[in-house]
Structure 1
Amino acid sequence: MAWFLLVIAGIEEIIAAIAMKYIDGTRKKWPIIVMTVGFGLSFYCLSQAMIVLPAGVAYAVWTGIGSIGVSAVGLIWFKERFQLSQVISLCLILAGVIGLRLTSSS
């Protein structure tokens, strides 16, 4: 259950981070609401996962999911471009997240 909550926390982080891209001062309220709720749910799920998982592992996986997810959304949705070195770096983050999951006893 802790790993499931960690994945949910990562997804909520992605949603909240993408919502930040749509904030235009204070004229648009929905991105601020989505961001606030998203980060709130993300932190809650992360904190619940940390009850079972080591804090360092949980935090590393959470930030990895967020980094990879926001980058993927940027690539697909916002048509952002990445250099080869950035893609390789994101792949290394993914490998680290997978490695932490495979070697975790929880």
Structure 2
Amino acid sequence: MNAWLILGLAIVAEVIGTTALKASESFTRLWPSVVVVLGYGLAFYCLSVVLKSMPVGIAYAVWSGLGIVLITAAAWLAYGQRIDLPGLIGMGLIIAGVVVLNVFSKTSAH
């Protein structure tokens, strides 16, 4: 399977796990806690597979950058958390950084 697709799965699994972390209430609620463990387990497994064919710096930059943006969106949808204009600008810069790294940098795995 394509490393980029596996990385995407890793990011989605991590976002699900992190979103459930709040709902687990410090691991005092069973089912959200199970989702956390499964989400992080799948995320780290997929990331380990990706690292066989992609530089760790690129994989982690994409993982963390897109993860930040998706977690913020998930928190808005699931918990009503709001983000202000400086936060939106900052997330735009994060996305721009990931794009620059992948499109223009020679360290990217193409």
Normalised by the length of structure 1, the TM-score is 0.90
Map Cα deviations across residues 15-70 of structure 1 (whole Å, 9 max, x no partner). 00000010124542011110001001000111111111110110111111211111
Query: Taking CA–CA contacts closer than 8 Å with sequence separation of 6 or more, which of the two structures ends up with the larger relative contact order?
Result: 1
CA contact (8 A) 2:55 2:109 kept: no
CA contact (8 A) 1:7 1:65 kept: no
* Identity across matched positions, percent: 37
* Structure 1: runs of 5 or more not aligned: none
Question: What is the correspondence of 1:40-79 to structure 2 with a 5 Å cutoff?
Answer: 40-79=41-80
Q: Give the Cα–Cα distance (whole angstroms) in 1 for the partners of residues 33 and 96 of structure 2.
A: 32
Q: Give the Cα–Cα distance (whole angstroms) in 2 for the partners of residues 93 and 26 of structure 1.
A: 30
RMSD, aligned CA: 1.5
| AA partner of residue 69 (structure 1) | L
Match of 1:99 in 2: 100
Map Cα deviations across residues 79-103 of structure 1 (whole Å, 9 max, x no partner). 2111211111111111122233334
Moved more, 58-67 or 10-19: 58-67
Q: Secondary structure of 1:51's match?
A: coil
CA contact (8 A) 1:11 1:65 kept: no
What count of residue pairs does the alignment treat as equivalent? Answer: 106
Normalised by the length of structure 2, the TM-score is 0.87
Moved more, 69-78 or 13-22: 69-78
Match of 1:15 in 2: 16
* Structure 2: runs of 5 or more not aligned: none
